Amino acid sequence: VDMETSAPSKKPWWTVPENFHAPMVLYLEEGQEELIFGQSDTYLRCIEVHSYTLIQLESWFTATGQTRVTVVGPYSARQWLLHMMSHVISQDSYRHAQGLKMLEHVRSQPLSEHDLETPMSMESNTGD
Protein backbone atom coordinates (compact mmCIF):
# COMPACT_ATOMS: atom_id res chain seq x y z
CA VAL A 1 0.00 0.00 0.00
CA ASP A 2 1.34 3.41 -0.98
CA MET A 3 1.29 5.51 2.19
CA GLU A 4 0.86 8.76 0.26
CA THR A 5 -2.64 7.56 -0.48
CA SER A 6 -4.66 5.76 2.14
CA ALA A 7 -5.65 3.05 -0.38
CA PRO A 8 -4.66 2.31 -3.96
CA SER A 9 -7.68 4.14 -5.41
CA LYS A 10 -7.79 7.05 -2.96
CA LYS A 11 -6.48 10.59 -3.34
CA PRO A 12 -3.13 11.80 -1.96
CA TRP A 13 -3.45 12.75 1.73
CA TRP A 14 -3.07 16.48 1.07
CA THR A 15 -6.22 16.50 -1.09
CA VAL A 16 -8.42 15.18 1.74
CA PRO A 17 -9.98 18.14 3.64
CA GLU A 18 -10.29 16.19 6.92
CA ASN A 19 -6.50 16.04 7.14
CA PHE A 20 -6.47 19.80 7.68
CA HIS A 21 -9.17 19.93 10.36
CA ALA A 22 -8.02 20.46 13.94
CA PRO A 23 -4.29 20.84 13.32
CA MET A 24 -2.04 19.61 16.10
CA VAL A 25 -0.35 22.54 17.85
CA LEU A 26 2.39 22.29 20.47
CA TYR A 27 5.18 24.46 21.78
CA LEU A 28 8.84 23.49 22.00
CA GLU A 29 11.74 25.23 23.67
CA GLU A 30 14.49 26.35 21.29
CA GLY A 31 16.80 23.46 22.24
CA GLN A 32 13.99 20.92 21.85
CA GLU A 33 13.18 22.22 18.37
CA GLU A 34 16.84 21.92 17.37
CA LEU A 35 17.04 18.39 18.79
CA ILE A 36 14.01 17.25 16.77
CA PHE A 37 14.33 19.23 13.54
CA GLY A 38 18.09 19.80 13.50
CA GLN A 39 20.12 22.97 13.36
CA SER A 40 18.44 25.45 10.98
CA ASP A 41 15.61 22.88 10.71
CA THR A 42 17.77 20.57 8.56
CA TYR A 43 15.45 17.57 9.09
CA LEU A 44 12.10 19.39 8.80
CA ARG A 45 11.40 18.48 5.16
CA CYS A 46 12.56 14.88 5.64
CA ILE A 47 10.29 14.44 8.69
CA GLU A 48 7.35 15.92 6.75
CA VAL A 49 7.87 13.61 3.78
CA HIS A 50 8.38 10.50 5.93
CA SER A 51 5.36 11.25 8.15
CA TYR A 52 2.97 12.40 5.37
CA THR A 53 2.39 15.75 7.08
CA LEU A 54 3.03 19.46 6.69
CA ILE A 55 4.78 21.04 9.68
CA GLN A 56 4.94 24.78 10.28
CA LEU A 57 7.47 26.14 12.76
CA GLU A 58 6.93 29.67 14.09
CA SER A 59 9.27 31.35 16.54
CA TRP A 60 7.43 32.95 19.43
CA PHE A 61 9.05 35.83 21.20
CA THR A 62 8.97 34.57 24.75
CA ALA A 63 11.58 34.63 27.48
CA THR A 64 12.45 31.00 26.71
CA GLY A 65 12.40 31.37 22.91
CA GLN A 66 9.58 28.93 22.23
CA THR A 67 8.61 27.63 18.80
CA ARG A 68 5.00 26.98 17.91
CA VAL A 69 4.76 23.72 15.96
CA THR A 70 1.63 23.21 13.84
CA VAL A 71 1.09 19.86 12.12
CA VAL A 72 -1.54 18.95 9.54
CA GLY A 73 -1.95 15.60 7.86
CA PRO A 74 -3.61 12.26 8.49
CA TYR A 75 -4.77 11.84 12.09
CA SER A 76 -2.60 8.76 12.68
CA ALA A 77 0.51 10.59 11.47
CA ARG A 78 -0.21 13.60 13.71
CA GLN A 79 -0.66 11.24 16.68
CA TRP A 80 2.59 9.43 15.88
CA LEU A 81 4.51 12.73 15.72
CA LEU A 82 2.94 14.00 18.95
CA HIS A 83 3.90 10.75 20.68
CA MET A 84 7.46 10.95 19.31
CA MET A 85 7.94 14.62 20.28
CA SER A 86 6.49 14.17 23.77
CA HIS A 87 8.90 11.28 24.33
CA VAL A 88 11.90 13.19 22.94
CA ILE A 89 11.32 16.10 25.32
CA SER A 90 10.46 13.87 28.29
CA GLN A 91 12.56 14.15 31.45
CA ASP A 92 12.18 10.38 31.91
CA SER A 93 15.31 8.76 30.48
CA TYR A 94 13.48 5.67 29.17
CA ARG A 95 10.79 7.71 27.39
CA HIS A 96 13.46 10.10 26.08
CA ALA A 97 15.47 7.18 24.65
CA GLN A 98 12.33 5.76 23.01
CA GLY A 99 11.56 9.19 21.54
CA LEU A 100 15.07 9.45 20.08
CA LYS A 101 14.60 6.00 18.52
CA MET A 102 11.32 7.13 16.96
CA LEU A 103 12.96 10.36 15.77
CA GLU A 104 15.77 8.44 14.09
CA HIS A 105 13.18 6.15 12.52
CA VAL A 106 11.14 8.99 10.95
CA ARG A 107 14.31 10.76 9.78
CA SER A 108 15.64 7.65 8.04
CA GLN A 109 12.55 6.14 6.40
CA PRO A 110 8.87 6.71 5.69
CA LEU A 111 6.49 5.60 8.41
CA SER A 112 4.84 2.30 7.59
CA GLU A 113 1.18 1.50 7.99
CA HIS A 114 2.20 -0.57 11.03
CA ASP A 115 3.98 2.44 12.58
CA LEU A 116 0.90 4.59 12.09
CA GLU A 117 -1.50 1.99 13.47
CA THR A 118 0.32 1.95 16.78
CA PRO A 119 2.69 4.75 17.83
CA MET A 120 3.74 2.51 20.70
CA SER A 121 5.10 -0.07 18.24
CA MET A 122 8.55 1.50 18.43
CA GLU A 123 8.66 0.78 22.15
CA SER A 124 8.08 -2.93 21.70
CA ASN A 125 10.48 -3.10 18.75
CA THR A 126 13.64 -4.33 20.44
CA GLY A 127 14.99 -6.10 17.36
CA ASP A 128 17.30 -3.20 16.42
pLDDT of 8 higher than 60: no
Query: Cβ atoms within 10 A of the Cβ of 120, count?
Result: 11
Tell me the whole-structure pTM to 2 decimals: 0.83
**Ramachandran sector of residue 27 (left: φ over 0; alpha: ψ -120 to 50; beta: rest):** beta
- The pLDDT tens digits for 91-121 are 999 999 999 999 999 999 999 999 998 765 4
